[in-house]
Structure 1
Amino acid sequence: MHIITNETSEKHLHILKDLINKSEKILIAVAFLKESGLNSVKVDLEAALNRGAKVNIYCGLDFYSTEPGTLRKILILFKKCGDGHLYLYKSDRYTFHPKLYCFMKARTAYILIGSANFTHGGFQDNIEISTLEETAIGSDIYNKVNSFFKTIEKHSVEANELEISQYKRKYDII
């Protein structure tokens, strides 16, 4: 296990870029998606998609911190480049607040869990801390993380223009 902070040369951004660039499958669950975060890793995500990586991003809409324009840009990127899916977590009962990144290549998974949202601040400027675990696909920790992603997918809708427009109306009021 490795500890990642933004106070060292191994900021979240450097770790994420490295893992995106070597992964065949990427799963991300975050409370907030901002354009600043997308801009930080867009080139890397595009390259991953173009080489055939599968990317699923699950995001929260609670607190109206996720930017509708960013959701649209991710949809465009996924349509243009390949096998990507953007899911919006929907629940009247629970607040969606994870910061979980899982990267897979061959039989290995790299799991980053901590406090960093998908924002420039989370990736680089804020005081953030996460753990990075390298484990085998099929290990206990991998199976629990994979199960978590399956559970949140059941409570999510795949993003589309209608869903984003409905969210944007509320976002603009707040």
Structure 2
Amino acid sequence: MKVSFLGHGLSSGESVGSALIKSFSDTDFNTFSCLVGFASLSGISGIKESIQKSKQHIKHFNVFIGIDLKGTSKEALEALLGLNVNTNVFYTFSHIVFHPKIYLFEGEKRCRIILGSSNLTKPGLFQNIEASFIIDFAKPDKEGETLLSQIYDYFQSFFTRKVKNLHKLTQELIQDLLEGGIIPDETERIKIQGKEKAPEKVTRKKDVLKKLKKLFPSIKIQKPPSGFKTIRVIKKKPVVTTVKKNAWDFKGQLLWKKTSLPASDVQYQKEGTNPTGGLRLTQARWKVNGKVIDQTTYFRQNVFGKLAWKKEKTVPYVEVSEVLCNVRILGEDKGQHRFILRHKPSGEAGQGNYTTLLSWGKFGEEITKNDLRGKDFYLYAPPKGQNEPFYVEIKGSRTFADLFA
């Protein structure tokens, strides 16, 4: 028995691919068998002619091919099918890989075993840095024949077709494997194996995948010996930092401002007087597009025009509506509240008078907790594209620091 080391990829010279081609042309061999993890179109097509010519003397073919990790393409399987050699596919949904690389040439007088790391791909046969052994022996050879028997014994269930995860290659099976997302087409395989970015999502037909799980069920996984201890990497869940958005980050443009709020607007009650219960929406010298607003129409038609209004009184005529507002008082967020709006068109149009009132309602109790006299009132529009909520804020008059806030 002669054992030779065969490496390729680091220097020019013989390769596993060239050894296969020479072996196919050797008329001493009448049987070819191989058990290989991956196959590509370039690998199969590269030795296609040699296989076809070898059929003059090689009468028995046994090809067992794996399809894990998208290492074998649809086109490679179709090329094998086209060679009309006895080909079977092995696969399991268990988390293991069919990964042997064994090539057997047998004859009445001589045998050759090529065993190493080369898959049936162009890089695996010629270009990658690979390592294999070529074992040649002439019969009878006790060591050689024992080695060959050991290989056959180990893979006996393959050669006898008794392993249930092994299926004869057909065009229907190829199509099912493709639609089930188990095998790629050659373009995708090249991207994956060529270290390029592969397609992010593979569309799988659920019914086909269910069928394939019956054809290639999970199998028992061999356990390592007790002395083999591993360190497992615990996959940690990514820490997602969520930036909590403040409702006030979405407020719209400033619609109106009233400075130096009088006591009557902020529920401040002097002895012998009653509070109005709301904020008068006066002119307050507020300008829109350079013009002072007309408060008799501005609040009812422009600011709150999209709200649902209804008649409350006929004489004098009064309309009412509800408005949802986010409220902030002296920098403290008070949440959302609903206020009643009352519009009385008969009100006078002078600068200090009003036709629309924002009633504090129950929120008036919160207003009275603070002495808000002299503070400023701000009314902001709802977020873009929304009719509500509006934003109401009462805060102190602007200071020098506010200019840089």
Assess same fold via TM > 0.5: yes
1:32 — aligned with what? 38
Of 112, 121, 128, 2:123 maps to 121
Post-superposition CA distance 1:117-146 (Å, at most 9, x none): 001101111100100111347711010112
> Alignment partner of 1:9: what SS?
coil
TM-score (normalizing by structure 2): 0.40
Q: CA deviation at 1:61?
A: 1.1
Length-normalised TM-score, structure 1: 0.88
Give per-residue Cα distances to partners, 1:13-59, cap 9 Å, x unaligned. 11111111222111011110101111221000011124453211111
Written as runs of structure 1 = structure 2, the 5 A alignment for 1:1-174 is 1-6=3-8, 7-22=11-26, 23-78=29-84, 84-93=85-94, 94-135=96-137, 136=139, 139-152=145-158, 153-155=161-163, 156-169=166-179, 170=181, 171-172=183-184, 173=202
Q: What letter is aligned with 2:21?
A: K
Task: Quickly say closer, same or farther: Cα 1:43–1:149, change in 2 above 3 A.
Answer: farther
Q: Compute the displacement of 1:65 (Å).
A: 1.2
- Higher Rg: 2
Greater RCO (Cα-Cα under 8 Å, separation 6 or more): 1
Cα deviation digits, residues 57-88 of structure 1 (max 9, x gap): 1111111110111111211221xxxxx21110
Would the alpha carbon gap of residues 48 and 160 (structure 1) be closer, same or farther in structure 2, given more than 3 Å must change?
same
Which is richer in helix? 1
After the TM superposition, which of the residue ranges 17-26 and 90-99 deviates more from structure 2? 90-99
Distance in 2 between residues matched to 1:33 and 1:71, nearest whole Å: 8
Shift of 1:108: 2.1
- SS of the aligned residue for 2:93 comes to coil
Q: Which runs of 5+ in 2 are unaligned?
A: 185-201, 204-405
Which residue pairs with 1:81 in the alignment? none
Residue matched to 2:251: none
> What's the % identity of the aligned pairs?
20
Q: Which SS does the other structure have where 2:123 is aligned? A: helix
**3-state secondary structure, aligned to 2:19:** helix
Alpha-carbon contact 1:31-1:98 (below 8 Å) kept: yes
Tell me the secondary structure at the aligned position of residue 4 of structure 1: strand
* Amino acid across the alignment from 1:65: G
Point out where structure 1 has 5 or more consecutive residues left out of the alignment. 79-83
